[in-house]
Amino acid sequence: MGEYSHLFQFFFSGITTGSIYALIAVSLVIVYRVSQLICFSQGEFFVFGALFMATLISKGVSLPLAFVISLFGSMAMGGFLQWLLIRRIQGSSIGNLIVMTIAIFLALRGLALIIWGRESYVVRPFTESQPITFMGASLQLQVFWIAGITVFVLLLIWFFFEKTMLGLAMRACAENPLGASLMGISVNRAAFFAWAWGAAIGAIAGMTICPLLFTQYTSGVMPMVKGFIAMSIGGLSSIMGSVIAGLMLGLVESYTIGLISSKFSDAIVFTLLILVLLIRPSGLFNSQR
Amino acid sequence: MNIMERLKKAWWILPAVILGIIPLIFKEKSAYVSGILIFAGIYIILAVGLDLLMGYAGQISVGHASFFAIGAYSSAILTVKYGISPLLAMFFGMFLSGLIAWIIGRPVLALKEYYLAMATLAFNEIVITLIIEIEWLTGGASGLKNIPSFSLFGFTMKNNLHYYYFVWFVVFLVVAMTIAIVKSPMGRTLIAIHSDEVAARTFGINSTKYKTGIFVLVNVFASVAGSLYAHYMGFIAPDDFGVSTSVNMLVMLFLGGFGTIYGPAIGALFLKILPELTYFFQDYELLINGVILIIVLVFMPKGMYGIFVAMKRKIGFSRE
Amino acid sequence: MKKFLIFILLLLFVGLSATNIGYAQKPTGEPYVIGGIFPLTGYLSWLGEYKKKGSELKVELINEADGINGRPLKLVIYDDQSSPEQAAKIAQRLISKDKAIAMIGTASVPISGAVASLANKNSIPAIIGSGYEVNPEKDRFVFNTAHKTDFAVARPFQYFKEKGITKLALLMPIGSLGELGSTLARKYAPSYGITIVGEEKFDVKAPDVTAQLAKLKTLKPQALFSFCTGEPAALVARNMAQMNMNIPVLVSHGNANPGFLKLVSNVNVPIIVPAGRAAAPDAIPDSDPCKKVIAAFNKRHIAKFNEPANYYSAEMVDAIAIIAEVLKTTKGATGEKLRDGIENLKNFVGMQGIYNFSPSDHHGTVLNDMMVFEVKEGKLHMLLK
């Protein structure tokens, strides 16, 4: 049994990192779907969510309450930024919009430095217990929280986009902005909610994942880059696609490390990414094109 | 009127003269000022090249720093480990970058928009990983030290001032070349491909050839910038060639004015000088730099170059 | 109008956040300017803060004691943003704009390399504190108050030998520190009877390293060596605990600081940390001349920052103390004179050890200045003196 336990451990490691990538990719896809915008400030919502929750917990607030407060805080921040900044330059080129999100990223990072300083924060797992062992391999319980919350978020998104008026309107905006505005749907309003949603899901990702990491003001970049990759493999606008792509990315990474080389794993994974893009130029899971 | 026309054509003499006398104005601080402007010049080469690729040929790149790295490492390795003269090393770097760009250009440039961005980003990461892991050649993550100063025909440019004039000479050369390309029939072809590739093809334009050609040229520029950088720093490490550097170049591009050539140059200059003005804010520096970028983007949606154009119109220099 | 409002709002924001920095100076006369190059933003910023605090306090103390022959010291600090390019820029600024007579700081090998290049070019001494190995023949103006990285490997290996540990696995971060660790482990393993059973690498930003650990676990090592600092070190230890790998893990000597101890407070794996004396002053005997220096400085450091000095602050405090000591005797502070002064400095008692510099040794400290500790209940316990 011990002989093959490392093969299972590769699997668990892949699931752990993959579930992290998947959740972040979802938050990126939400913004993309509605505003066709790649949001570079998404990693900062991740950081703000996690650090705000860590601060609340250290002040004695209970975990569920801290989670909810931080969630709505981030949501408000996302909406506010869209209202204050993105809306102003709505008419300019997509490149300008993307650079605006980079500028927002820099400013938020600077703000996080002032608020939280340079130290790393530790958040305890949502449920304190020994890791699960299976065939000699171990998995942290927090991964189940990540998986459960991802499923919950997916259901929520599905419900919102399929069953509510606002959600349907937002979808209409994504698919045909001109048509939507002719129908009296405010594109601005849809974008506002997309940012609020995107920020909220980014914060959820941060809060759910932070017990596995050590979070500081610079922690937003890694999740964002991996989220971008998962998103492009998944076909940009497909939420389910990006979830599967995120999990796959995690698994490919850990099996590359485990079976091929931990030295060149990054180079191998990125070469695979380029190959995937060349073979399926619109992502593996994009059924729309 | 004839004189006015001529003056307009020779406008570039003004910035050249200003740049020429700047180090003389600052006297004892000139090593510092010229040092900053050397970095700015190097990034202008990068940003202008990127603008040719993105603003005219319409091909996104989030991995421009990868060829910057290839140029820098070619120069550093050849001069440090094999004792080759800096000029030859630079030419080798240009050749190598061009070759790599030509090989990867054809397949990768078939991708569009966001997917192209991801592929170039991935390429950047691959280059960095290889630099780190081929340690015996590149010095790995610890970097490569004792890179000699640039020398030209036996004259070694140890002094910042000498190197400053040399770098800016190259900058002017690159900008002039870029402008020439943009104004040539090739430039118009590129714009045609950018605005509608399918239409361009139906007119018999071999878009792949043009796209690959411009990709090679732009990355040769980046390689030159890398060589200049390595000889000035005297030391290079992979830290400065990552995706964040590539993203920084994108910021220069859009901040200055996308698709205007002069705009990205202004953007690069601005972004390289800005930290020198805000450093005393200390912990607030990061936030303030971000806020300044936001302000520029909100108030100058067409980039900083747009302001110049507007000013020119007001003064009545406009052709319209 | 709305645009204008936002503009005012943002401007107000910028204005409010502007800070004013000034130093209380007692001694009069033209100050000696020392340049400080610290990573205050970017991935190394958490340790830059320790360095900045320690060096600012040291300069304050020197000026309280009437400076150097009546002339005050002035420390000009810039942020290198954890980037070699930025470090080169600010080193140039310190040299030609601020007219610094010497530079201190830096926190990683690449950044030290960039600063060293400018120090040598301009003949301005730089006392750095990182794993950068100074080669006095080429780095004529570079000194290093961090212990040689060799010591941080050789000393724990000595401990392993005493404990009978012979099979060691390496899990190295991708980066300069990991490269150094790997090279040095292979260099010293034979002399301490240690076999290296396997080596894996990991990305310092990765959220999980259990795949690498599982691979190494199959080789049945008696100890693990992961030469990394801060978060990645804590992650390795945490993942080991998760996988029930209850073998000692040796991490880098930069981890002897309160930040790291907090990160691993609930990790049940023996963590071995090599460190200098400043990390655990209570554990050194009273006969040690360094103890008095550490105690005196710690008193003020605790009073000002509510925490004792640590490895990072001690490096920089010693760097400033060395410059101050040499300035007292050197007339006219040219780069060459300062360099010669430092090279001739013998038996100088600092926080990190007793320095003996020479034209062929720009580190000054010896193997036994490095000690070996284990982390237990958030505190450092000495294993090897």
Would you state the pLDDT for residue A265?
Answer: 84
Would you state the pLDDT for residue A80?
Answer: 92
Task: Report residue A81's pLDDT band, with 50, 70 and 90 as the boundaries.
Answer: very high
Q: Which residues pair with A133 in a beta bridge?
A: A138
Find, among B149, B122, B242, the residue nearest to C81 by Cα: B242
Answer yes or no: do C206 and A122 touch at CB < 8 A: no
Find, among C357, C356, C339, the residue nearest to C101 by Cα: C339
Q: Which residues contact C292 (CB under 8 A, 6 or more apart)?
A: none
Alpha-carbon distances of B56 from B46, B48, B91, B251, B261, rounded to whole Å? 15, 11, 26, 17, 9
Answer yes or no: do A281 and B288 touch at CB < 8 A: no
Distance (Å, whole) CA A175 – CA C247 = 56
DSSP H or E run through C197: strand C195-202
Task: Report residue B25's pLDDT band, with 50, 70 and 90 as the boundaries.
Answer: confident
**Nearest CA distance, B239 vs chain C (angstrom):** 7
Answer yes or no: do C113 and B291 touch at CB < 8 A: no
Would you state the pLDDT for residue B228?
Answer: 95
- Tell me: the pLDDT tens digits for A221-264? 888 888 888 888 888 878 888 899 999 999 999 999 988 888 88
State the average pLDDT for chain A.
86
Answer yes or no: do B290 and A105 touch at CB < 8 A: yes
pLDDT-flagged residues of chain C (< 70): 1-27, 332
Give B-chain residues touching C176 at CB under 8 angstroms. Answer: 140-143, 237
DSSP H or E run through C122: helix C109-122
Q: Which of C41, C206, C214 sits opposite A113 (nearest CB)?
A: C41
CA gyration radius, chain B:
20
Distance (Å, whole) CA B38 – CA B42 = 6
Would you state the pLDDT for residue B231?
Answer: 93
Find, among C97, C88, C152, the residue nearest to C126 by Cα: C88
Q: Is residue A270 part of a domain?
A: no
Q: Which residue of A has its CA nearest to C178?
A: A263
Answer yes or no: do B233 and C88 touch at CB < 8 A: yes
Distance (Å, whole) CA C128 – CA B254 = 38
Q: Which one has a higher pLDDT value, B1 or C152? A: C152
In contact, C72 and C25? CB cutoff 8 Å: yes
State mean pLDDT over B39-55: 93
Q: Which two tokens stand for residue C211?
A: 């795949």
Q: Is residue A6 part of a domain?
A: no
State mean pLDDT over A53-63: 92
Q: Which residues pair with A139 in a beta bridge?
A: A132
Q: Which one has a higher pLDDT value, B255 or C225? A: C225
- Tell me: the pLDDT tens digits for B231-245? 999 899 998 899 889
Would you state the pLDDT for residue A77?
Answer: 93
Coil, strand, or helix at residue A121? strand
Give A-chain residues touching C4 at CB under 8 angstroms. Answer: none
| Best A46, A58, A109, A119 residue to mutate vs chain C (most C CBs within 10 Å) | A119
- Tell me: the pLDDT tens digits for C304-318? 998 888 888 999 999
Query: For chain A, what is the domain count?
Result: 1
Alpha-carbon distances of A25 from A18, A245, B111, B192, C145, rounded to whole Å? 10, 9, 21, 35, 45
Query: Residue C17, Cβ neighbours under 10 Å: how many?
Result: 18
B10 burial level (CB within 10 Å; 0-12, 13-18, 19+): exposed
Would you state the pLDDT for residue C59?
Answer: 93
Neighbours of C, requiring at least 3 CB pairs below 8 Å, are A, B
Task: Report residue A286's pLDDT band, with 50, 70 and 90 as the boundaries.
Answer: low
- Tell me: the pLDDT tens digits for B151-188? 887 777 777 888 899 999 999 999 999 999 988 888 88
Distance (Å, whole) CA C303 – CA C305 = 6
State mean pLDDT over B114-129: 90
Residue-range definition of the domain harbouring residue A198: 23-219
Question: What is the DSSP secondary-structure string of C230-266?
Answer: SHHHHHHHHHHHHTT--S-EE--GGG-SHHHHHHTTT
Which domains, and CATH codes, for chain C? 30-147+291-366 (3.40.50.2300), 149-275 (3.40.50.2300)
Q: Is residue A57 part of a domain?
A: yes
Q: What is this structure's pTM?
A: 0.88
State mean pLDDT over A34-53: 88
Would you state the pLDDT for residue C33?
Answer: 92
Would you state the pLDDT for residue A260?
Answer: 86
Give C-chain residues touching B42 at CB under 8 angstroms. Answer: none
End-to-end CA distance of chain B: 15
Query: DSSP assignment, residue C72?
Result: P
* Chosen CATH of B30-283 out of 1.20.1260, 2.30.30, 2.60.120, 1.10.3470: 1.10.3470
| Best B73, B142, B285 residue to mutate vs chain C (most C CBs within 10 Å) | B142
C385 touches chain A (CB under 8 A): no
Q: Is residue A237 part of a domain?
A: no
Q: Which residues contact B170 (CB under 8 A, 6 or more apart)?
A: B41, B45, B224, B228
- CA angle C43–C44–C48, rounded 5-degree value: 140
Alpha-carbon distances of C257 from A189, C275, C280, C384, rounded to whole Å? 49, 10, 10, 18
Query: Residue B107, Cβ neighbours under 10 Å: how many?
Result: 14
Give A-chain residues touching C212 at CB under 8 angstroms. Answer: 257-258, 262
Q: Which residues pair with C127 in a beta bridge?
A: C104, C143
Residue type, C56: E
- Tell me: the pLDDT tens digits for B187-233? 888 888 777 777 777 777 777 888 899 999 999 999 999 999 999 99
Answer yes or no: do B143 and C110 touch at CB < 8 A: yes
Write phi, then psi, for A136 (nearest 5 degrees). 85, -5
Domains of chain B, by residue range, sit at 30-283
A36 pLDDT higher than 80: no
State the average pLDDT for chain C.
86
| Best B147, B162, B233, B273 residue to mutate vs chain C (most C CBs within 10 Å) | B233
A289 pLDDT higher than 50: no
Distance (Å, whole) CA C352 – CA B236 = 30
* ipTM for this model: 0.86
State mean pLDDT over B31-58: 91
Q: Which two tokens stand for residue C85?
A: 């390019």
When mean pLDDT is compared across A61-70, A205-214, B193-202, C258-267, the lowest value belongs to B193-202
Residue type, B215: F
Q: Which two tokens stand for residue A39?
A: 């949001």
A176 pLDDT higher than 60: yes
Distance (Å, whole) CA C118 – CA B235 = 9
